[in-house]
Amino acid sequence: MNYAKGFRDGIPIGLGYLSVSFTFGMMAARSGLTIAQAVFISMTNVTSAGQLAGLNLIAAGSPMLEVALTQFIINLRYALMSLSLSQKLDGGMTTLHRMLFAFCNTDEVFAVASGQKGAVGRRYLYGLITAPYFGWALGTLLGAAAGTLLPAMVRDALGVAIYAMFIAIVIPPSKHNGAVRLAVILAAALSCAMFYLPALNRISGGFAIIICAVAVSALCAKLFPIPEDAGEEGGAA
């Protein structure tokens, strides 16, 4: 469980991030951000859904509180992942190392780290986050710089990549778990309702996502509480 093993395990994640962050970089450039600003967001936030939502809110000139709350709700899933992973770290992961590693604990990094047999150590974890972190930054750079060089048709088509990735995260668990399926369908339905229905569509995008997430998760938690011994592995893969 050394750095090299972690680095190797992180390469597929890094390649995946390269393509998704390319899309993000392109969207950032389209929203009026400079190349440096796009890369700066990616290197300080390291989160696809949060950055995308944040970009829309910044472009819309939303209040700071709404931005903070939106990030809180959208990224709340990381709290669960960090909580779960905290049970799996070896003694070498002192508080300082936990604080450093936490910066890059993304959905996919969490999924791979959780999948390891036994406790994981800091060398492995630092190896694991290397390729994803730089892949995320590099993809953003390329997307923001070269996105505008691509034909408009290709650029438009790439705009869907990040949403396709979200679908690829939520569908496989929905296939195997009826309660997750219900959460996904209800959240989609509620989100559409808040987008299309007259009075509801006055609510801004960030708050709409918060309301959908909280209402649907609370309802599903009430109706289908997870088994007492499970849930530690929860969170998107």
Partner 1 sequence: MNWQYFLPYVLVMAVVTYLIRMLPLAAFRRRINSRFIRSFLYYVPYAVLSAMTFPAILYATGSLPSACAALAIALVLAWLEKSLLTVAIAASAAALIVQAAISMI
- Give residues 201-220 in contact with partner 1 (rule: CB under 8 A): 208-209, 212-213, 216-218, 220
Alpha-helical runs (H) found in the chain? 3-30, 35-45, 48-60, 64-74, 76-86, 95-102, 107-114, 122-146, 152-158, 161-176, 178-196, 205-223
According to CB under 8 A, which one of 92, 115, 172, 178 is a site residue for partner 1?
172
Judged by beta carbon, residue 4 or residue 160, the one nearer partner 1 is: 160
Is residue 187 near partner 1 by the rule CB under 8 A? yes
According to CB under 8 A, which one of 9, 21, 26, 47 is a site residue for partner 1?
47
DSSP 8-state code for residue 89: B
According to CB under 8 A, which one of 2, 8, 68, 200 is a site residue for partner 1?
68
Q: Structure tokens of 159? A: 């705009």
Judged by beta carbon, residue 127 or residue 139, the one nearer partner 1 is: 139
Q: Least distance to partner 1 from the beta carbon of 92, Å?
A: 14
Is residue 116 near partner 1 by the rule CB under 8 A? no
Closest residue by Cα to residue 27 from 206, 148, 167: 148
According to CB under 8 A, which one of 35, 74, 128, 144 is a site residue for partner 1?
74
As a whole number of angstroms, the distance between CA 42 and CA 227 comes to: 36
Contacts (CB under 8 A) with partner 1, residues 85-104: 85-87, 95, 98-99, 101-103
Q: Least distance to partner 1 from the beta carbon of 187, Å?
A: 4
Task: Give the Cβ contact number of residue 80 at 10 Å.
Answer: 16
The answer to whether the beta carbons of residues 116 and 85 sit under 8 Å apart is no
Identify which range of 1-9, 81-89, 113-121, 130-138 contacts partner 1 by CB under 8 A: 81-89
Q: Least distance to partner 1 from the beta carbon of 176, Å?
A: 10
Burial code (b: 16+ CB inside 10 Å, e: under 16) for 93-105 equals: beeeebeebeebb
Is residue 192 near partner 1 by the rule CB under 8 A? yes
Burial code (b: 16+ CB inside 10 Å, e: under 16) for 123-138 equals: bbbbbbbbbbbebbbb
Is residue 34 near partner 1 by the rule CB under 8 A? yes
